[in-house]
Chain A
Amino acid sequence: MSNIKYILGSFGDPDELMHGIDKLQENNIKIYDVYTPMPIHGIEAKLGIKRSRLDILAFFCGITGTASAFALIYLTSVVDWKHNIGGKPALALPDFIPIMFELTVLFCAFSLVGSYYASTHLFPGRAPRVMDLRATDDRFIIAIDAQQNVEHSKIDGLLKDAGALEVKHNERKYISYE
């Protein structure tokens, strides 16, 4: 067993990258992940990536915000300390709506920022997880798990045939950690 953990095929062009993905999939080689410096249309479908559940999270966080705002106003200005504002009833719902709306947006936005940090492991002071630094610049990277796919020379050949400019055998997963 070699020490190689990941094989990285580095492409200079998104079309060649897509071609490389096709080649690997035809040979039943499982792709660990693909890193690109820009979004590529149709790549999610090709890699079989499931749809993000971010919208569902956003919805429930938003609803929590609405409920919190309502609870806050209701408990303070209806139950606890009634005010007479312009002769309106204590439970004057139209007055509540702007605050409920704002807290919905606030909860939603905070939870989305939080979930983004959690899913990308991007915390202040922590080195980001990067498998190949040039994926953040001008290269399109296909990563293959070298422990699961043992035919390394075949993978190298396939990547080169598809137009990879460079094939790397990395012994560490994330090169950005020191």
Chain B
Amino acid sequence: MGTHNYNLTEQFEFTGKAKTLSIVAIVVGIVAIVLGFVQGAHERTFANLLLMAYYFACVCMSGAFFLAVQFVAQAGWSASILRVPQAMAKTLPIAVVILIAVIGLGLYTHNLYHHWHADGLTDQNSANYDKLIDGKSAFLNVPFFMARQVIFLGVYCIFAVLLAKLSNNEDLEGGLNSYRKSFKYSCIFLVIYGFTTPIFAFDTVMSLEAHWFSTMFGWYNFAAMWVSSLATIAIIIILLRKSGYMSWVNNSHLHNLGQFIFGFSIFWTYVWFAQFMLIYYANIPEETVYFYKRFEHYEFWFYLNLILNFLSPVLLLMDRDNKRQENILLTVSIIVLCGHWVDYYQMIMPGTVEEHHKFGYIEIGTAIGFVGLFTFTVLNALSKKPLIAKNHPFLQESLNHHL
């Protein structure tokens, strides 16, 4: 075993078509957002900005989560592909700045979170007084809300950058020191992440409809962000392989990623269904209002969500051989990524633009813009370091990975 001739100093060059296209996509996104504001669709544009900024941040922070899970599980198979989630983790600070800016501006201009942030909602003498929101105002008030966002996202950023940095130190120094530190910080990060992501999802998305609540919502969002991040990792690795990089990634690595995407798509469906069925079964008006809105005005998106995120991964990835074929895995990953856009769309739109939702140039343009931004920043981060962590203690296991 172990007679490979891989170039362990191989480095990704971020030039040519990838760079041009991602810059074009960013420009398209900026044009769409500016046009949206110029044409007076403020709320709709803000909702789209929130959707994509949230998506962007979630994919990047789940990249850091992927790293932490690999370290804590002492996984060997993934040692040779860790630079891809590391690049995503390094991008997290940019995503966080954008998300906090969108949330802050949305609150300031009253385009987002107007269910709990409007004049007189907590003033007993006002005509706008809302007893439910007043009761929740100890938690849902602007200073505490923004503080939570900044602290949670800031802590995720610190750990994401730290894990990427330790891996770079490992490249330079060798030895087990960096690995041990990564293990320790990963343990701490997972505990913090596990307890705070549900609250982060409650704040960022669920509070758009502040009268309604669901305790499943946090895990539902966690499943969505985790599976979309896995799909992104798979897409980046497959595209790198197709353009001649990462020759050490074999079908067994793809198989593992395919299992992850398959398994967590089902986990997403499980959590989605658990939330839906309890509300359906109990039939309490203050809970069913959430699905009532979605059935009335978003029926197409509601069912499309299930088809893209449950049926397509289940049917296309169930077979072992399909998980090992890069074209099928790439197709499913792209379907799942589009699916989770639809998922976020029908989470966010009914709480912002209500029944006046549209699917037009603002939606498509904003999505393209953020995809371009993600591609640009992640590939830029990826091109800074060699594509393999050459001193990772489990590297040989990963290079010989066989299922």
A residues whose Cβ falls under 8 Å from a Cβ of B = 41-42, 55, 59, 86-88, 94-95, 97-98
State whether A42 touches B402 (Cβ < 8 A): yes
Closest B residue to A15 by CB, please name it: B1
Task: Given A42-B402, A86-B283, check contact A55 B320 (CB 8 Å).
Answer: yes
State whether A87 touches B283 (Cβ < 8 A): yes
- Complex interface: chain B residues within 8 A of A98 (CB): 277
State whether A86 touches B277 (Cβ < 8 A): no
Q: Can you show 21 pairs from A to B with CB atoms below 8 A apart? A: A41-B400, A41-B402, A42-B402, A55-B320, A59-B318, A86-B281, A86-B282, A86-B283, A87-B283, A88-B283, A94-B273, A94-B276, A94-B277, A94-B280, A94-B281, A95-B277, A95-B280, A95-B281, A97-B273, A97-B277, A98-B277
Closest CB in chain B relative to A53 CB, distance in Å = 12
Please report the C-alpha to C-alpha distance between residue A95 and residue B273 in the assembled complex, in whole angstroms. 11
Closest CB in chain B relative to A159 CB, distance in Å = 23
Please report the C-alpha to C-alpha distance between residue A41 and residue B283 in the assembled complex, in whole angstroms. 53
Closest B residue to A87 by CB, please name it: B283
Closest CB in chain B relative to A18 CB, distance in Å = 10
Please report the C-alpha to C-alpha distance between residue A87 and residue B283 in the assembled complex, in whole angstroms. 9
Please report the C-alpha to C-alpha distance between residue A98 and residue B320 in the assembled complex, in whole angstroms. 26
Contact with A along B263-283 (1 / 0, CB 8 A): 000000000010011001111
Residue tally, chain B, CB below 8 Å to A: 11
Please report the C-alpha to C-alpha distance between residue A94 and residue B400 in the assembled complex, in whole angstroms. 45
Closest B residue to A86 by CB, please name it: B283
- The 8 A-B pairs with the shortest beta carbon distances in the complex, nearest first, are A41-B402, A94-B277, A94-B280, A86-B283, A95-B281, A42-B402, A97-B273, A55-B320
- Complex interface: chain B residues within 8 A of A55 (CB): 320
- Complex interface: chain A residues within 8 A of B400 (CB): 41
- Complex interface: chain B residues within 8 A of A95 (CB): 277, 280-281
Closest A residue to B402 by CB, please name it: A41
Closest CB in chain B relative to A6 CB, distance in Å = 30
Please report the C-alpha to C-alpha distance between residue A88 and residue B280 in the assembled complex, in whole angstroms. 10
Please report the C-alpha to C-alpha distance between residue A86 and residue B277 in the assembled complex, in whole angstroms. 13
Please report the C-alpha to C-alpha distance between residue A56 and residue B325 in the assembled complex, in whole angstroms. 19
- Complex interface: chain B residues within 8 A of A87 (CB): 283
Please report the C-alpha to C-alpha distance between residue A95 and residue B283 in the assembled complex, in whole angstroms. 12
- Complex interface: chain A residues within 8 A of B280 (CB): 94-95
Please report the C-alpha to C-alpha distance between residue A88 and residue B288 in the assembled complex, in whole angstroms. 14
Please report the C-alpha to C-alpha distance between residue A55 and residue B259 in the assembled complex, in whole angstroms. 14
Closest A residue to B318 by CB, please name it: A59
Closest CB in chain A relative to B77 CB, distance in Å = 12
- Complex interface: chain A residues within 8 A of B276 (CB): 94
Closest A residue to B252 by CB, please name it: A41
Closest A residue to B270 by CB, please name it: A101
Please report the C-alpha to C-alpha distance between residue A169 and residue B291 in the assembled complex, in whole angstroms. 73
Please report the C-alpha to C-alpha distance between residue A127 and residue B125 in the assembled complex, in whole angstroms. 84
Please report the C-alpha to C-alpha distance between residue A86 and residue B287 in the assembled complex, in whole angstroms. 15
Please report the C-alpha to C-alpha distance between residue A22 and residue B133 in the assembled complex, in whole angstroms. 75
- Complex interface: chain A residues within 8 A of B277 (CB): 94-95, 97-98
- Complex interface: chain B residues within 8 A of A88 (CB): 283
- Complex interface: chain B residues within 8 A of A42 (CB): 402
B275-323 residues with Cβ-Cβ distance < 8 A to A are: 276-277, 280-283, 318, 320
Closest CB in chain B relative to A111 CB, distance in Å = 17
B377-403 residues with Cβ-Cβ distance < 8 A to A are: 400, 402
Closest CB in chain B relative to A140 CB, distance in Å = 16
Closest A residue to B319 by CB, please name it: A55
Please report the C-alpha to C-alpha distance between residue A97 and residue B276 in the assembled complex, in whole angstroms. 12
Told that A88-B283, A94-B281 touch, could you supply 12 new A-B pairs with CB distance under 8 A? A42-B402, A55-B320, A59-B318, A86-B281, A86-B283, A94-B273, A94-B277, A95-B277, A95-B280, A97-B273, A97-B277, A98-B277
Closest B residue to A85 by CB, please name it: B281
Question: For A41, A42, A88, A97, which residue has the most chain B Cβ atoms within 10 angstroms?
Answer: A41
Please report the C-alpha to C-alpha distance between residue A160 and residue B345 in the assembled complex, in whole angstroms. 68
Closest A residue to B278 by CB, please name it: A94
Closest CB in chain A relative to B258 CB, distance in Å = 14
- Complex interface: chain A residues within 8 A of B282 (CB): 86
Please report the C-alpha to C-alpha distance between residue A95 and residue B278 in the assembled complex, in whole angstroms. 9
- Complex interface: chain B residues within 8 A of A86 (CB): 281-283
Closest CB in chain B relative to A14 CB, distance in Å = 10
- Complex interface: chain A residues within 8 A of B273 (CB): 94, 97
Closest A residue to B282 by CB, please name it: A86
- Complex interface: chain B residues within 8 A of A97 (CB): 273, 277
Please report the C-alpha to C-alpha distance between residue A108 and residue B320 in the assembled complex, in whole angstroms. 18
Contact with A along B63-107 (1 / 0, CB 8 A): 000000000000000000000000000000000000000000000
Closest CB in chain B relative to A37 CB, distance in Å = 19
- Complex interface: chain A residues within 8 A of B283 (CB): 86-88
Closest B residue to A51 by CB, please name it: B320
